Amino acid sequence: MIYLISVSVMFAFFSCQNTPAPEDVKAEVLTAEFIYETAPFPQCHASTIVETEDGFLASWFGGTREKNPDVCIYTSALTDGRWSTPVLVADGIINDTLRYPCWNPVLFKTNNGEIVLYYKVGPSPREWWGLYKVSADNGNTWSDAVEIPDNLLGPIKNKPENLSDGTILYPTSFETREKWNIYVETSDEDLENWKKVDIDNNGFNAIQPTILFYSEGKIQMLCRSKEKKIVETWSSDNGKTWSPVEATSLVNNNSGIDAVTIKNGLHLLISNPVEKGRNKIDVKISADGKNWFDLIVLEDQPEGEFSYPAIIEGSDGTIHITYTYNRKTVKYVHLKLM
């Protein structure tokens, strides 16, 4: 069975490994394919991916167009090398006469092996609310939707992380007409006792954080911003407090990013490394979260949209990526690091 590595075990693993220099690491593409070729919806966006006991599960929102009431959450499973036909697993139907769009699914595997699907429902990101469903059978069936309590939202785009004390740490954010703000939420492993931890955004308009782990218990969050840079905040006490948000040297086009700390202690960042457009997407690698090296370019075309990526490390050490491909489908890329 596949279980998540707690943060404390991961740090111990880091300490006994010979971490390679990030600039020496190369990536080989093992697979690059579309999760589906045809679907009952014309547009899609905001994919997410998780490893299950029998393969991988991806999810995204799809409908006539982002923000339209018919936008629902879909999933597809990768087993025996093939993606299944997309299945509708959540909608925004309130009653017979009222329906809202769904947004930004996030898949997560708990320490007990259950798969959680977090998502949002509402007329816009300024007015949406957070819900989740739980699957005990690798995403084949789902519980009824549960609304996240106390007006909290859950993970806004990128995956939560299990901490060593059993806490689940959720990178999240909110949007108003005046500002964007990142913060974190926490719950226990039973998805109860939700709490909010505020972060000083320091004048930046930032959303959609992603989490990286370092030795000595340090945690970094990298975030999308309106200021043409990826911004960051750090915690040295397991996410209880965070430094004021600061700009990094990494270019951002005000589009979603994702990142992951892998077993050897290095960190991968996937983003659109351009100030305008979403026609280029690449992966960078770092040892310290400050100095980033180019690893591989996944798309670089004169036009098009390749955006809102998700990235995880599989139990075998290979890297699994999904991202929006021209709003028409979701692309899956499987990498081997060397």
Q: Determine the average pLDDT of the residues in 268-274.
A: 99
Q: Is residue 97 part of a domain?
A: yes
HSE-up of residue 325 (Cα within 13 Å, Cβ side)? 15
Q: Is the predicted pLDDT of residue 178 greater than 90, yes or no?
A: yes
Beta bridge partners of residue 135, listed in sequence order: 115
Q: Is 165 left (phi over 0), alpha (psi -120 to 50) or beta?
A: alpha
What are the pLDDT digits (tens) for 155-173?
999 999 999 999 999 999 9
What are the pLDDT digits (tens) for 50-90?
999 999 999 999 999 999 999 999 999 999 999 999 999 99
Q: In sequence order, which residues have a C-beta less than 8 Å from that of residue 275 and are 6 or more positions away?
A: 228, 251, 252, 253
Chain mean position to CA 17: 26
Q: Is residue 115 part of a domain?
A: yes
Q: Is residue 278 part of a domain?
A: yes
pLDDT value of position 18: 77
9 against 238, higher pLDDT = 238
Q: Other CB atoms closer than 10 Å to residue 56's CB: what's the count?
A: 22
Q: From CA 302, how far away is CA 316, in angstroms rounded? A: 35
Q: From CA 333, how far away is CA 311, in angstroms rounded? A: 9
Per the structure, the complete domain to which residue 126 belongs is given by 7-337
Q: Is residue 261 part of a domain?
A: yes
Q: Is residue 207 part of a domain?
A: yes
- How open is the CA angle 126-146-78, to the nearest 5 degrees? 90
Q: From CA 29, how far away is CA 223, in angstroms rounded? A: 26
213: tokens are 């782990």
pLDDT value of position 2: 45
Q: Is residue 123 part of a domain?
A: yes
63: tokens are 């409908």
pLDDT value of position 6: 52
pLDDT value of position 317: 98
Write the single-letter amino acid at 290. K
Q: Is residue 2 part of a domain?
A: no
Q: Is residue 1 part of a domain?
A: no
Q: From CA 154, how far away is CA 160, in angstroms rounded? A: 9
Among the listed residues 265, 256, 254, the one whose alpha carbon sits nearest the alpha carbon of residue 322: 256
Q: State the SS3 of the chain.
A: CCCCCCHHHHHHHHHCCCCCCHHHCCEEEEEEEECCCCCCCCEEEEEEEEEECCEEEEEEEEECCCCCCCCEEEEEEEECCEECCCEEEECCECCCCCECCEEEEEEEECCCCCEEEEEEECCCCCCCEEEEEEECCCCCCCCCCEECCCCCCCCCCCCCEECCCCCEEEEEEEECCCCEEEEEEEECCCCCCCEEEECCCCCCCEEEEEEEECHHHCEEEEEEECCCEEEEEEECCCCCCCCCCEEEEEECCCCCCEEEECCCCCEEEEECCCCCCECEEEEEEECCCCCEEEEEEEEECCCCEEEEEEEEECCCCCEEEEEEECCCEEEEEEEEEC
Q: From CA 296, how far away is CA 285, in angstroms rounded? A: 9
- Looking at every residue in the chain, the average pLDDT score rounds to 96
CATH, residue 245: 2.120.10.10
In the block, tokens 């982002």 appear at 66
CA distances from 114 to 110, 146, 180, 217 (A): 5, 15, 32, 26
What are the pLDDT digits (tens) for 103-156?
999 999 999 999 999 999 999 999 999 999 999 999 999 999 999 999 999 999
Confidence of residue 251 (pLDDT cuts 50, 70, 90): very high
Percentage above 70 pLDDT, the chain: 95
What are the pLDDT digits (tens) for 293-334?
999 999 999 999 999 999 999 999 999 999 999 999 999 999
pTM of the model: 0.95
200 against 8, higher pLDDT = 200
Domain count, the chain: 1
Q: Determine the average pLDDT of the residues in 262-281.
A: 98
pLDDT value of position 10: 52
Q: From CA 230, how far away is CA 3, in angstroms rounded? A: 31
